[in-house]
Amino acid sequence: MAARPDVSLDEDKHSGSREKGLNRVLQILEFLHTTQRAIGVGDLARGVNAPRSTTYTLVRSLVDAGLLEMAGDGNRVYFGKKLYLYGMDYVRGNDLLRRGRQEVDHLSRETGETSELCMLQSGRYTIVHSSPGTRPFRISSATGLQIPLPWTASGRLLLAGFDKAAIEDMVSEDDLVLPDGRRLRLDDFIADIAVAKSAGYCITSGLVDAYTKCLAAPVFSAPGRVEATMCLVVPIDTSTEKTDDLIALLRERAARLSIVA
C-alpha cells in the first residue's frame, strides 16, 4: 500500500504564511494611523520594516478591496472610504460611543469649552470624539489623536483599575518625558492614579502645553471599571470657582453616560 503523504507540514507552512501576511497588513494600517497622512509605498515599506515587493503586493490588494486609496499624484497611499464606512458601523453598534458622542457635543455647546470622549487603545490615551469650544482661541484637539498616558488627566483615570506592575509595563520611559522636556517620575504618576481614583475625577495643568489644563471624569462600564473618560480642555488661568463648577458638571454627565455609576 502506498504511503499517505503527510500534508501537515504544508498546512503549517501555509498557515504561517497567512498569519505573517495578516500581521503585515495590521502593521501597515497601524503605521498609517500613526503617521496621520498619505505616504509613499517605499516609505511605508521602510516604516513597517518589510520588503518593498511584499508591501507593494499588500497595498495593491488593500487598494483593490477599498481599504486603502492612492492619494493625489497616485504615488502615495492612505486609508480608503470603506474603512470610514466600517468605522461608522462601529459607532452605530457601540452604545457607549454613540451616546458619548452626543454627550460630548452637548457639553461643548453648553460650556463653550473643548470637550472630548477618551478611551484606552493600544496602551495610549486616545481621543475617540472631540467637539471644539466656542472660544476665539481654539484649543488643539483631534479625534484619533493618541497621547502618552502620563501627559493627561484621563490617563490617570483610565489606569485606575490596573495594578502597579501592569502600569509599569504599559508606560515607557519616553512616555514620562513631557513635550517641554520635563520628566515625570513613574512613582509620582502611579500615586496620581490612586488620588484620581479616590477623588472620582482628575485635573492636570500645563502638561501637554503651558496654556491649558484638562479636567476629566470617569465613565464606568462596571463597578470599578473605567471604560472611558469625559474631558474638558480649558485655559490654564480658568478660576478655581469655575473649574469646580465644570468638574461637577463633568462628573454628572459622565455618571449619566456610565452603564454602572
pTM of the model: 0.75
3-19: pLDDT as tens digits: 555 545 555 555 566 77
Q: Is the model's pLDDT at 118 over the cut of 90? A: yes
pLDDT, tens only, 23-82: 889 999 988 888 888 999 899 999 999 888 889 999 999 999 999 998 877 789 999 999
Query: Which tens digits make up the pLDDT trace of 175-223?
Result: 999 999 999 999 999 999 999 999 999 999 999 888 899 999 999 988 8
120: left (phi over 0), alpha (psi -120 to 50) or beta: beta
Residue 158: what pLDDT?
Answer: 94
Q: Is 37 exposed, middle or buried (0-12, 13-18, 19+ CB in 10 A)?
A: exposed
Reported as a single tens digit per residue, the pLDDT across 96-117 is 888 999 999 999 999 999 999 9
Radius of gyration of the chain (CA): 22
- Asked if 79 and 34 count as a contact pair (C-beta separation under 8 A), the reply is no
Provide the total of helices (H) and of strands (E) in the chain, helices listed first.
9, 9
